[in-house]
Structure 1
Amino acid sequence: MTLLLSLLLAAAPAPAEVPRRLEAGQTSPAAQVEALDFLTGTWVGGREGVEASVVYLPPKGGQISGHFQEGKDGKVTMYEIVQIVHAGASLAYRLKHFNPDLTGWEEKAGDAATVFPLVAVERDAVFFDGFTIRRTGPDTLAETVRITKKDGSEMLLHYTYRRAPR
């Protein structure tokens, strides 16, 4: 019985990580995109009931570019174009959302992009204000994002990925 319980606990998914916040008066730390090279690759997985994939290209020209795709029931529901770019001496994660027909969300709202300033970089993890990316194994990745709903309440979306075969 103890062995079975140990095996079940070992196989259970890790709880979702709560993204850190950049507190009032706190500045983003100095960082280089090359420190995030561990993100490079194609990652497939998703969250409960939702399929997702994210691609991060190797650092080039002082940034990491990529894209995210989410879908359900075999249909694409949205895309994101993403960048991890220098913001002064630090970094920021920038993205724009698109519907399946490539109409942009931010343009409708009058915003240029959604920006997550850097909070910290640790071994195998990067923490942006409201968004965490963590390498959980050699070929596994987890992302947790804090979403603010229209009514002002917040929710966390937790994605898990496996590296796609090359």
Structure 2
Amino acid sequence: MKQILLFLFSLTVSAQAEKGMQIKDTLAPKLENIKWISGNWKGEAFGGQTEENWSEPSGGSMMATFKLINKGEVSFYEIEIIREIENSLVLQLKHFDNDLKGWETKNETVDFPLIKITPTQVIFEGMSFEKVSDNEMNVYVDIKNDNGEVEIVKFNYKKSS
């Protein structure tokens, strides 16, 4: 019996230590803590080339443009922002065809509320950024496939000069 109690006690201490580390590694929801996302990024996804250009934080937000090129032609664009709202961050975006006709209605955005920030991750509900190095990051996006199932699509980006 003593061994079982000791085992349960060590599991509890271990779980509390892990929680403490998570709290310690979690950063405040401030743009300054995610400025490593800023820059000009290039990669490949959906069978084509991608470009994503993020501004430095200013005016309570960061903004980005995204472009997917397939077979030498633009497939679609996105305008994205991350802004500070009510002591948190939210990522919002709008999609556009190659002729800038919007996918969402005039007053509609696709919103991703913040879950948490660590020194190397920014995790929003449905989209996350992972810092691999100063010149490489991964972006993971939840996308519904034709069957209605959610797939996680990985975009690997390298920072361009």
- Say whether residues 1:88 and 2:105 are aligned partners: no
TM-score by length of 1: 0.76
Q: CA deviation at 1:152?
A: 2.7
Q: Which amino acid aligns with 1:136?
A: V
Q: Where does residue 124 of structure 1 map in the other structure?
A: 120
Percent identity over paired residues:
27
Aligned residue pairs total 135
Kindly indicate whether the alpha-carbon contact (under 8 Å) linking 2:36 and 2:134 is maintained by their aligned counterparts in 1.
Answer: no
Q: Is contact 2:41–2:158 with CA below 8 Å preserved after alignment?
A: yes
C-alpha separation in 2, matches of 1:104 and 1:47: 21
1:87-136 CA-to-partner distances (Å, cap 9, x unmatched) read 211001000000000000001xx761000000010012100001111111
CA distance in 1, matches of 2:129, 2:47: 20
Q: Following the alignment from structure 2 to structure 1, what is the Cα–Cα distance between the partners of residues 60 and 46? A: 34
Q: 1:146 aligns with which of 127, 134, 142?
A: 142
* Contact 2:56–2:62 (Cα < 8 Å) also in 1: yes
**Structure 2: distance between partners of 1:146 and 1:130:** 5
- Contact 2:91 2:111 survives alignment (8 Å): yes
Q: Which runs of 5 or more residues in structure 1 are unaligned? A: 1-28
Partner residue in 2 for 1:112:
108
Aligned equivalent of 1:98: 96
Unaligned runs of at least 5 residues, structure 2: 1-26
Q: Hey, what does 1:67 align to over in structure 2?
A: 65
- Structure with the higher fraction of residues in helix conformation: 2
Give me the CA root mean square deviation: 1.7
Distance apart, 1:74 and its partner CA: 1.3
Q: Does 1:164 align with 2:160?
A: yes
- 1:46 maps to what in 2? 44
Q: 1:48 to 1:114 in 2, by over 3 A?
A: closer
Q: With CA pairs under 8 Å and 6+ residues apart, which has the higher RCO, 1 or 2?
A: 1
Which secondary structure state, in structure 1, belongs to the residue aligned with residue 104 of structure 2?
Answer: helix
Change (3 A) 1:154 1:102: same
